[in-house]
Structure 1
Amino acid sequence: MNTEKSQLLFEKSRNIIPGGVNSPVRAYKSVGMTPPFIKSAQGSKIIDVDGNEYIDYVGSWGPMILGHAHPEVVSEIKRACEDGTSYGAPTEKELMLAEIIIDAVPSVEMVRMVSSGTEAVMSAVRVARGFTGRDKVLKFEGCYHGHSDGLLAKAGSGLLTTGVPDSAGVPADYVKNTIVAPYNDCDELENIFKRYANDLAAVIVEPVAGNMGVVQPKEGFLALVRELTLKHGVILIFDEVITGFRVSFKGAQGYFEIEPDMTVFGKIIGGGMPVGAYGGRKEIMSVISPIGPVYQAGTLSGNPIAMAAGIKTLEILRDNPHIYKSIEEKAVELEKALLDSSKQYGIPLKVNRMGSLLSGFFTGEDVTDLKTAMKCDVEHFRKYFRNMLQSGIYMAPSQFEAIFVSSAHGKEDIEKTISAVDYAFSKL
């Protein structure tokens, strides 16, 4: 595999971009490689600047559920661009996308568009504090909610990959109101509520954790979170940046039939373009400026290009419910291939899957929280990742991320991936 151009670009980038990348996990530091620089993408494939083609299971970290450059989505983007790329003013498209989200997700009665998942989480937490008049927020170990100062505590994703438990530059005062609990630990959750219930503004949780690898909620965990928050007047925020419109059209909350007070959405609602949103009950959302005292603003919020891409993406998902069944079936095939190969070659592996999301953990212990996730053999993952990439399979360069299956992955893609899995395990 030729990587000459990628290596050259990476060396140049390192001189003018911190680490040579604009998001840490892209650096391939944890797998000891030079990241491929991507030139183009179409359907299930991406092509790097050296001409190497890969089957893509990153999907821009989840939102490309229809695959890359879906013709109907691209057509809407082109049409929107012809009318101008940004106005900083209200558009009908903002209303149209908001209506689709509200119709799909019963817990959301009003929604505010922003430009990223981090911005959406930061804003939702501010709204929860403004609504309740309380300061403290409870989050769970291994759940990543963006890089806002108050939530960079025991976070997942790139922070786990790089071995950074927190972040420099965050004053202690910013995190003093953040309480961190183990994910899936009902006893500790009840203990925290006994101590802090009257001080908690919000509990924020990934209903299916996706940033320490895919970790499903244990039976009764989300129900207990909902019960305790309702009992004590605490706002329950579901971070569905990964699971929203991915686990089901109604998100994880629709799958588990548990309604939060607020929900955060990510790039999937913009067809993979830079967009986010937060929404919830009307009485809560009504505290947001200009009708309430909680200030939040953004010049690019509701960008017409992102709105056009999002409308078409969600319309396709809404009108073709078989997509969810199809991508889950493909994920099941990959899950079986991973487990079969691990058994054949005697490599300890656990696979967690939720719909079209899955993670293979190099451990013999069930992965149910951050503590068990961190017991994985990252050296095994590093070798496995290298072998998969050499076979033309593009995955996240981290043990603590998910594989995302899209509707663009065809039978040949799955068969080639299964063969690559067997080869990768045979080399371990």
Structure 2
Amino acid sequence: MIDLTKSKAAFEEAKKYMPGGVNSPVRSYPHMGCPPPFIQEAHGSHITDIDGNTYIDYVGSWGPMVLGHAHPAVIKAIQKAAERSTSYGAPTVMETEIAELIHQVYPSIEKMRMVNSGTEATMSALRAARGYTGRDKILKFEGCYHGHGDSLLVKAGSGAATFGSPDSAGVTKGTAKDTLVVPYNDIPAFTKMMDEKGDEIAAVIVEPVAGNMCCVPPVEGFLEALRKETEKHGTVLIFDEVMCGFRTTFHGAQARYHIHPDMTCLGKIIGGGLPAAAYGGRREIMNCIAPDGSVYQAGTLSGNPLAVTAGIETLKQMMAIPDFDKILEKKTKDLLTGWKQAADKAGVPLVCHQSGSMFGIFFSEKDVLNYHDACSANAAQFKAWFLSMLNQHIYLAPSPFETLFMSYAHSDEDIEKTIQAADKAMEEAAKVK
């Protein structure tokens, strides 16, 4: 067993001052039976806790660290920007530069607005869609998490699912009644809902690759059905690519699946590890945003110079590496192939999902296509697997509902060590029924 003595003490102290001792719920390792490692530093593909344990990291700050931790070019750019001040609360040319870069990668984003988190991006995009259409209702998919805005905490996945309470207290009945929910990947259920309520629905919001019921790609025809039905009913189609953006492919899920949404939400990678996100889309929708239009949204730290600098440098570094996304996709595939072989050897049923450099596993005998399937996977086997991997210095998400991420910094040696650890971890999972 790894020594987490200092982390345990730090966790107890933190619980005196923060709910659950953390600033985001899943970080508390609620069902893993051990304290969360308290992190001291990270470099490349490795992360080190205050007890001195160093792990190979497949969480990557939940997605942003696509180049690896503390990439020298990104750190240098941030340091240089910080010397000029950490915030202005005023326009900068850097904001236009990152907007131009994002438009280059995502042509469907004709105009955009920077914000500070994925939650801000999705709630602002929905407000824009309501303002543009004059409608109140939205439609989301069960198990898709779009941040903690009130209207979106209805049958959410990820952290909410980890805690067994997908509907949050504090969300009013009035808000909830305007949020319609259908199962992810269920084309007939979606089409039926649109037939019944389509003309009342302002927006359909979806993770085109679901990343909050672990990693669940869309079935054939699902995203096409969303595009067809929203166009028919004059409903705004919003792709939440906060997680899958730049990962499914460099140009996102909308490029991989050849679907052009009306609006897109981005985050994580566009901040290079600092708090930044954005929402944008068709010009006529974004022209509804103040000061051009009557849909109000503002933020003191939106377009923060440090975050924008980190995002620009991260995107430029990715663009400079030939076949960047293909390299990450192969690394991911190699890792999952090794994990599946380890599971087969141990006699453990395992489903492996991948979309570019996003990936996840399910201890399940059947494929996982939606939130119900994800909930049916063997949580006890996941816990045994997770604890064994942690004890072998492999840092994974402490929940079966969270997606994992590959970075460019992961070496062949890292992947081989992780596969070797999986051999033992799968044997531990096999002991659990």
Q: Which residue of 1 aligns with 2:20?
A: 19
SS at match of 1:318: helix
Offset at 1:321?
3.7
| 2:271 counterpart of 1:309 | no
Offset at 1:427?
2.1
Letter in 1 for 2:274: M
Instruction: Answer with 159-168 or 257-266: which moved more.
Output: 159-168
For structure 1, the residue ranges without an aligned partner over 5 or more in a row are none
Q: Which residue of 2 aligns with 1:239?
A: 240
Deviations 1:69-128 (A, max 9, x none): 000000100000000000100011111000000111011100100000000000000000
Q: Hey, what's the Cα distance between the residues in 1 that align with 2:193 and 2:33?
A: 40
For structure 2, the residue ranges without an aligned partner over 5 or more in a row are none
TM-score, structure 1 normalization: 0.99
Q: Which residue of 2 aligns with 1:191?
A: 192
In the TM superposition, 1:318-397 aligns within 5 A as: 318-397=319-398
Q: Hey, what's the Cα distance between the residues in 1 that align with 2:216 and 2:66?
A: 20
Letter in 2 for 1:201: A
Letter in 2 for 1:153: V
| 2:428 counterpart of 1:427 | yes
| 2:46 counterpart of 1:45 | yes
Letter in 2 for 1:64: M
Q: Hey, what's the Cα distance between the residues in 1 that align with 2:33 and 2:128?
A: 41
Q: Hey, what's the Cα distance between the residues in 1 that align with 2:218 and 2:327?
A: 23
In the TM superposition, 1:130-209 aligns within 5 A as: 130-209=131-210
Displacement over 3 Å in runs of 4+: none
Offset at 1:251?
0.6
Q: Hey, what's the Cα distance between the residues in 1 that align with 2:338 and 2:377?
A: 19
SS at match of 1:381: helix
Letter in 1 for 2:13: K
Deviations 1:252-310 (A, max 9, x none): 10111100000000121010110110010111100000010000000000000000000
SS at match of 1:363: coil
Q: Which residue of 1 aligns with 2:281?
A: 280
SS at match of 2:352: strand
Q: Hey, what's the Cα distance between the residues in 2 that align with 1:182 and 1:188?
A: 7
Q: Hey, what's the Cα distance between the residues in 1 that align with 2:252 and 2:227?
A: 16
| 2:70 counterpart of 1:69 | yes
| 2:113 counterpart of 1:79 | no
Q: Hey, what's the Cα distance between the residues in 2 that align with 1:321 and 1:256?
A: 22
Q: Hey, what's the Cα distance between the residues in 2 that align with 1:71 and 1:248?
A: 24
Offset at 1:230?
0.7
Offset at 1:245?
1.1
SS at match of 1:400: coil
Aligned pairs, number: 428
- How large is the RMSD of aligned CA atoms in angstroms? 0.7
SS at match of 1:294: coil
Q: Which residue of 2 aligns with 1:111?
A: 112
Q: Hey, what's the Cα distance between the residues in 1 that align with 2:112 and 2:325?
A: 24
Offset at 1:30?
1.7
| 2:212 counterpart of 1:216 | no
Letter in 1 for 2:325: Y
Letter in 1 for 2:154: A
Contact kept, 8 Å, 2:133 with 2:202, in 1: the verdict is yes
Instruction: Answer with 47-56 or 347-356: which moved more.
Output: 347-356
Q: Hey, what's the Cα distance between the residues in 2 that align with 1:32 and 1:172?
A: 35
Offset at 1:51?
0.4
Q: Hey, what's the Cα distance between the residues in 2 that align with 1:8 and 1:277?
A: 38
SS at match of 1:55: strand
Offset at 1:29?
0.9
TM-score, structure 2 normalization: 0.98
Offset at 1:165?
2.0
| 2:114 counterpart of 1:97 | no
Offset at 1:341?
1.2
Q: Hey, what's the Cα distance between the residues in 2 that align with 1:300 and 1:85?
A: 10
SS at match of 1:219: coil
SS at match of 1:137: strand
